[in-house]
Amino acid sequence: MDAFLFLTFAAIAVVCGINIIVQTHPISSALSLVGVMGALAVLYLMLGAEFIAAAQMIVYAGAIMVLFVFVIMVLNAGGERLTKRSAYVRIFGVPLMAMFLGLIAFVIQAALPRGEMVTFGAFTRGGPADVGRALFTQYLLPFEVVSVLILIALIGAIVLARKEID
């Protein structure tokens, strides 16, 4: 059951990920990215990260990607104009990427011991209470710094995107 769920949602994530790269119009890419985030939220639930799964859907898929979709709709610039790449990219691009991926997979397999299984329900300390406790005691300084960062980003976005008053 765990393997079935993992394979289904991993397949959805990879297919949506490939779709991001393959589609010409940015809005299809944006919605495929929302699909990736949804699949990842389910995988987080399987790893026992309940709060992070909910935060992923609320913050990432429900706010950040809505912002992307808004900007694409407002700019309305149409699909991408396909340009020809150089011969190197067309011939060696995908094989090189596959080799890079193979290298990473080999390092993972070599570095980590086999036999460690992820079972649903084995990790129960990912709930909001535990995350909140760690966030407000051990990681309080990064939390405050990150709230100042959001304030800076907020001010920056408002200043950049407003109309100039002449």
Partner 1 sequence: MNFYLLTLIKTGLIAFVLLTALAYIQWIERKVLAHIQLRPGPYRVGPHGLLQPLADVIKLITKEGFIPSHVNLFFYVLAPLLAVALALIPIAVIPFGPEIDIFGVRTWMQLTDLKIGALFVLAVSSVGVYGVALAGWASNNKYSLLGGLRSSAQMISYELPYALALAAPLLLLNTLSFREIVNAQAGYYLGFIPRWTIFQAPLPQVLSFIIFLIAGFAETNRIPFDLPEAENELVAGYHVEYASMKFAAFFMAEYANMVTVALVTTLIFLGGWHAPFPAPASNYIPVVAHVLIAAIAFYHGTQPIRSWDKYTFPATGVICLGIAGLFLVPVLQPILMPLFWFIAKAGLLLFVFIWIRGTLPRFRYDQLMNFAWTFLFPLAVLNLLATGFMVAVFSK
Partner 2 sequence: MSGVPLNWYLILSAILFCLGIAGFLYRRNIITIFMSIELMLNGVNLSFVTFSYKFKQVDGHIFTFFVMVVAAAEAAVGLAIILTVFKNRQTLQVDDINSMKN
Binding residues for partner 1 (CB under 8 A): 27, 31, 34, 38, 50-51, 54, 57-58, 61-63, 66, 69-70, 73-74, 127-128
Structural tokens at position 147: 């709230």
Residue 91 interacting entry, from partner 2, partner 1, none, C-beta within 5 to 8 Å by type: none
CB of 111 to partner 1, least distance (A): 33
The residue assigned the tokens 């396909």 is 82
CB of 62 to partner 2, least distance (A): 11
CB of 152 to partner 2, least distance (A): 7
CB of 42 to partner 1, least distance (A): 12
The gap from C-alpha 150 to its chain's centroid, in whole angstroms, comes to 19
Contacts of 17 (CB under 8 A, 6+ apart): 32, 36
Structural tokens at position 116: 């460690």
Single-letter amino acid code for the residue at 123: F
Question: Closer CB to partner 2, residue 115 or residue 165?
Answer: 115
The residue assigned the tokens 């765990």 is 2
Separation between Cα atoms, residue 21 and residue 27, nearest integer Å? 12
Residue 54 interacting entry, from partner 2, partner 1, none, C-beta within 5 to 8 Å by type: partner 1
